């Protein structure tokens, strides 16, 4: 398809059901129409690739041994059965499509392979989930107009958007080595920031924040010197995940000028363990963001009719939170953000096209972050910094107040793609708890 999402086929059929009962449960993230890929291990076992179905994981290595795959699907399953998914991603869309169609047939109700495949399932509550790809590069964009404007209003209320924002997808190159799988705790970082008296100090971060983002995982690489046209840029993306770009706001404020964030962003980035493929999201394609009438038209290298018509994604995103006190009292988690990918000013195809427009090569497993996915309404403020700027802080249902995250606070993201006539699919969780700062050697 011209906007980069694959065509619909039998794997998207809303009437298709699975013999895995939990995959048919209302509200499940992982019905048979989803089939996201990840990497798991059993206790004491090796890492291996798998596919989520309901509350189970289909072990691809076991499926290969059982003779469930042949032809292109066998090659794809072999590439996805190891400790990282990069070999599968490097094969391109054709391989992932062949694997998806075969797994869907295996897991469909009435499949002749049910008995053999049932032996290859592992309960999800009995596995550990790992970072699904080796991330060579991590680029973080700033694609939400609403987040950018709120953060810029304090600097210049009359002109809160940076001059380039309406002309190109703004981004910076972040740290790939600190991309971690959701579920791993995040230790409060140390850094240099201005103290109350205006002099620099070094110590534990006093303004630790989350950023609710969406990540695109690059599939087949392009060669250096060969830009990817926007009309084909979506084809470079294998799939998507939830992403938390943890931010040390006090450190960020001090170090930001003139080169941008450094230690305030490189402390940790959490991603959800399951990659939802572009194939799975095909039914949820949406028009690109409707620019304001006063906005300039982007230059031609960023514009393609197909991408404008269907280059967005209709995915709802939420952020949930508990504090140590809430957990001790048995209180329900608080939903503190409700937003949507529809609020992104730039499509992921535009991000890829701009990223490669100077000849930069993207490599298999690279991750592109959307930037904070804030919307126009108060509930769409997708980081605490925005809430602090507008209301002085967040009030939780039990009366607790937060300017920024405290030790023991736990934050997690969820995402859900829904459209009438199709089965909704989800992304699992991107979760982490804040641990106290570790002791730091001062001499």
Fold for domain 10-130? SH3 type barrels. (2.30.30)
Of 3.90.850.10, 3.40.190.10, 3.40.630.30, 3.20.20.70, the CATH number of 138-435 is 3.90.850.10
Structure tokens at 211: 């950023």
Contacts of 104 (CB under 8 A, 6+ apart): 10, 11, 16, 32, 35
Give 147-178 pLDDT, tens digit per residue: 999 999 988 999 999 999 999 999 999 999 99
Give 378-421 pLDDT, tens digit per residue: 999 999 999 999 999 999 999 999 999 999 999 999 999 999 99
pLDDT at 3 exceeding the cut of 80: no
Q: Which residues are annotated as a binding site for substrate?
A: 155, 252, 372
Q: From the candidates 147, 190, 343, 355, which is the catalytic residue? A: 147
Closest by Cα among 375, 140, 137, 381 to 245: 140
Give 234-266 pLDDT, tens digit per residue: 999 999 999 999 999 999 999 998 889 999 999
Average pLDDT of the residues of the chain: 97
Mean pLDDT of 169-192: 98
Closest by Cα among 149, 148, 122 to 62: 122
pLDDT band at 1 (very low <50, low <70, confident <90, very high): very low
* Residue 442 backbone phi and psi in degrees, to 5: -95, -10
d(CA 257, CA 248): 15
pLDDT at 305 exceeding the cut of 80: yes
pLDDT at 48 exceeding the cut of 90: yes
Give 111-159 pLDDT, tens digit per residue: 999 999 999 999 999 999 999 999 999 999 999 999 999 999 988 999 9
- 93-107 vs 71-80: helix axis angle to the nearest 10? 100
DSSP letter string, 41-71: E-TT---EEEEEETTEEEEHHHHHHTT---H
What angle (nearest 5°) sits at the alpha carbon of residue 403, between those of residues 398 and 409? 60
Q: Which residues are annotated as a binding site?
A: 140, 155, 211, 213, 245, 252, 265, 269, 372
Exposed / middle / buried, residue 377 (Cβ in 10 Å: 0-12, 13-18, 19+): exposed
Mean pLDDT of 80-89: 99
Confirm whether 354 is a catalytic residue: no
Give bridge partners of residue 202 from the DSSP assignment.
192
Percent of the chain's residues with pLDDT above 90: 96
What does the buried/exposed string (b/e) look like for 169-199 if buried means 16 or more CB atoms within 10 Å of the residue's CB?
Answer: bbbeebbbebbbbbbeebebbbbebeeeeee
Q: Which residues are annotated as a binding site for Mg(2+)?
A: 245, 265, 269
- Cα Rg of the chain (Å, integer): 22
Delimit the domains of the chain by residue range.
10-130, 138-435
Contact between 210 and 244 under an 8 Å Cβ cutoff? The reply is yes
Mean pLDDT of 190-218: 97
């Amino acid at each position: 398809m011209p906007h980069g999402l694959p065509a619909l086929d039998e794997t998207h059929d809303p009437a298709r059901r699975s013999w895995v009962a939990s995959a048919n449960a209302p509200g499940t993230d992982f019905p048979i129409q989803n089939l996201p890929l990840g990497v798991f291990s059993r206790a004491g076992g090796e890492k291996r690739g798998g596919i989520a179905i309901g509350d189970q994981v289909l072990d691809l290595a076991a499926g290969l041994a059982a003779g469930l795959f042949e032809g292109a699907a066998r090659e794809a399953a072999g590439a996805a059965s190891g400790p990282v998914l990069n070999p599968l991603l490097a094969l391109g869309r054709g391989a992932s499509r062949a694997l998806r169609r075969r797994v869907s047939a295996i897991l469909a109700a009435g499949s002749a392979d049910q008995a053999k495949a049932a032996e290859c399932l592992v309960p999800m509550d009995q596995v550990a989930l790992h970072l699904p790809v080796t991330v060579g590069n991590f680029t973080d964009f700033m694609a939400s107009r609403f987040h950018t404007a709120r953060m810029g209003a304090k600097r210049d209320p009359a002109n809160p958007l940076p001059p380039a924002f309406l002309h190109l997808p703004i981004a910076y190159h972040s740290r790939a080595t600190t991309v971690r799988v959701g579920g791993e705790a995040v230790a409060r970082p140390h850094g240099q920031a201005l103290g109350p008296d205006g002099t620099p100090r070094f110590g534990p971060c006093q303004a630790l924040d989350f950023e609710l983002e969406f990540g695109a995982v690059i599939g087949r690489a392009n060669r250096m010197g060969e830009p990817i046209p926007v009309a084909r840029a979506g084809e470079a993306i294998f799939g998507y995940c939830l992403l938390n770009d943890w931010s040390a706001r006090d450190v960020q404020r001090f170090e930001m000028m003139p080169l941008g964030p450094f230690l305030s962003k490189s402390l940790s980035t959490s991603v959800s363990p399951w990659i939802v493929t572009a194939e799975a999201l095909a039914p949820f394609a949406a028009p690109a963001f409707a620019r304001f009438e006063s906005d300039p038209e982007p230059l031609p290298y960023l514009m393609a009719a197909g991408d404008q018509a269907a280059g967005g994604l209709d995915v709802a995103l939420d952020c949930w939170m508990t504090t140590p006190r809430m957990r001790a009292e048995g209180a329900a988690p608080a939903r503190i953000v409700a937003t949507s990918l529809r609020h992104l000013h730039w499509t992921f195809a535009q991000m890829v096209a701009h990223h490669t427009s100077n000849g930069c090569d993207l490599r298999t497993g690279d991750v592109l972050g959307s930037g904070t996915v804030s919307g126009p309404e108060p509930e769409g403020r997708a980081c605490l910094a925005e809430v602090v700027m507008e209301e002085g802080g967040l009030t939780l249902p039990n009366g607790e107040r937060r300017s920024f995250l405290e030790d023991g606070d736990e934050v997690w993201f969820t995402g859900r793609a829904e459209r009438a006539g199709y089965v909704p699919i989800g992304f699992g969780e991107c979760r982490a708890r804040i641990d106290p700062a570790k002791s730091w050697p001062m001499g």
